[in-house]
Amino acid sequence: MVAKITTGKTIRGVLNYNEQKVADGTATLIHASKFIREPEDLTYTQKLDRFQKLINQNERTKTNAIHISLNFDKADQLDDTRLIQIADSYMDKIGFGEQPFLVYQHFDAAHQHIHIVTTNIEPGGNRIPLHYIGKNQSEVARKEIEVEFGITVAESKKIDDEYYLKPIQLEKVVYGQSATKAAISNTVREVVKTYKYTSLAELNAALRQFNIIADPGEPGSLKHDKKGLSYSILDKNGNKIGVPIKASRIYGRPITSNLERRYADNRISREDYKNRLVHVLGKIIGDTTIKSKEAFATALQEKNIQVVWHSNKEGRLYGVTYVDNATRTVFNGSDLGKTYSANAISQRLGGTFSKDNDNSSITIVQKDEPLAQQERLGNGLLSQITEALFDAENPNQSMDYHLKMDRKKKKRKGPRL
């Protein structure tokens, strides 16, 4: 466990930081110690007033806001009850056990962590001294808690800022308004490198947000059989336009074989971010005011999550993919659990979906055979997320390979040497 203590001069700022995380869907309030109501029943004003009334009793002390984070190793899997017990124990050991404090669990990093908000002004106006609290009381508390709760020891093991993701700076590629090759290359390189996907279908779910698709060719085509791959710009209706760019011509070579090598690693690393997505989905699915596909997608979009629907020509939903742009992970619904699968969402929202795209989500309509297995298979059905041709500039390239060879034979003249 790693404990970090930050002090400040405004309790409102510390509280606002955590409350905004809750509003964004990247945190939840799990505990309110020394408050008269349960966490879920507290209003923002009640939280702030509880601290402010203590702070007002000692106007001379300017440093009166305490913000603590307790960070756990990725190997530690702690439920809310355990996290609350650890928070209570830690606060008691550093001398804040009788102070009011709020505990927020955050979901914006690969490792599990909680944030604690409190003040060092006691009832009556006395100030709890903060000198060397991190080096002394906190360090002792950390070591004792690691033993008491059997969690990973922090010695020589650091949880640092590498777990926190920096925002991705990409815009949708628009044909005619962007330098096509550069725009495609820059976007593909960034998405391939930073998103965690386990199939080409999942990669395409992320790429479609930027009007780009990876095209492996139609099943049976030479391109598909040879595991070829190209990247194209999509128009507003999801159709490929312009000249595609071969994967081998993009820096980093995001070709099929290189992508496939990433799938296994991504399947493991994305698990660190699964809790955040499940947490947000659970709240939205449980919201009885959300009754349509559009409302569901809009609510997710507000949490920086893009939903991709997979439906047949009749509008029946058979697959759903979630792209969490906050953590840059992609999950099919069934990978998260039955509650988040296409079937469950379909029943929850009414069953039939329009083929038209709305502004809050992406809808992929399957042309021929259904993709009932899409959520389970991954790269076994690489081509089924697209409706692709081999090359927009040369449509005859998708012609049957043997037919082309026959034509070449007829053109030969003279004896072969």
- What residue ranges do the domains of the chain occupy? 2-162, 180-397
pLDDT category at 81 given cuts 50, 70, 90 is very high
Pairing of strands 305-311, 361-365: parallel
Using pLDDT thresholds of 50, 70 and 90, give the confidence band for residue 360: low
CA distance 306 to 319: 14
Of 339, 338, 340, the residue nearest 305 (C-alpha): 340
The total number of residues shown for the chain amounts to 417
User: 3-state SS of 202-217?
Assistant: HHHHHHHHHCEEEECC
Query: In DSSP terms, which residues pair with 310 in a beta bridge?
Result: 319, 364
Strand order in the sheet with 113-119: 2-8, 65-71, 113-119, 101-106, 27-33
For residue range 136-147, what is the model confidence (pLDDT) as tens digits? 999 999 999 999
Residue 410 confidence (pLDDT) above 80: no
Structure tokens at 85: 């017990």
More confident call, 116 vs 352: 116
Average of per-residue pLDDT values in the chain: 81
Q: What percent of the chain has pLDDT over 70?
A: 78
The whole-number pLDDT of residue 176 equals: 58
Which segment of 149-153, 277-281, 412-416 scores lowest on mean pLDDT? 412-416
pLDDT of residue 313: 77
Residue 316 confidence (pLDDT): 76
Q: Is the pLDDT of residue 113 over 60?
A: yes
pTM > 0.85: no
Confidence class of residue 49 from pLDDT cuts 50, 70 and 90? very high
Cα(174)–Cα(104) distance, rounded to whole angstroms? 41
pLDDT above 90 coverage of the chain, percent = 51
Is CATH 3.90.1150.10 the classification given to domain 2-162? no
**Closest among 71, 60, 52, 30 to 119, alpha carbons compared:** 52
- 3-class SS shares of the chain: helix, strand, coil, % to 5: 40, 20, 40
Tokens of 148: 């008491």
Nearest to 1 by CA among 152, 104, 109, 116: 152
Q: Which of 152-161, 227-236, 300-309 has the lowest mean pLDDT?
A: 152-161
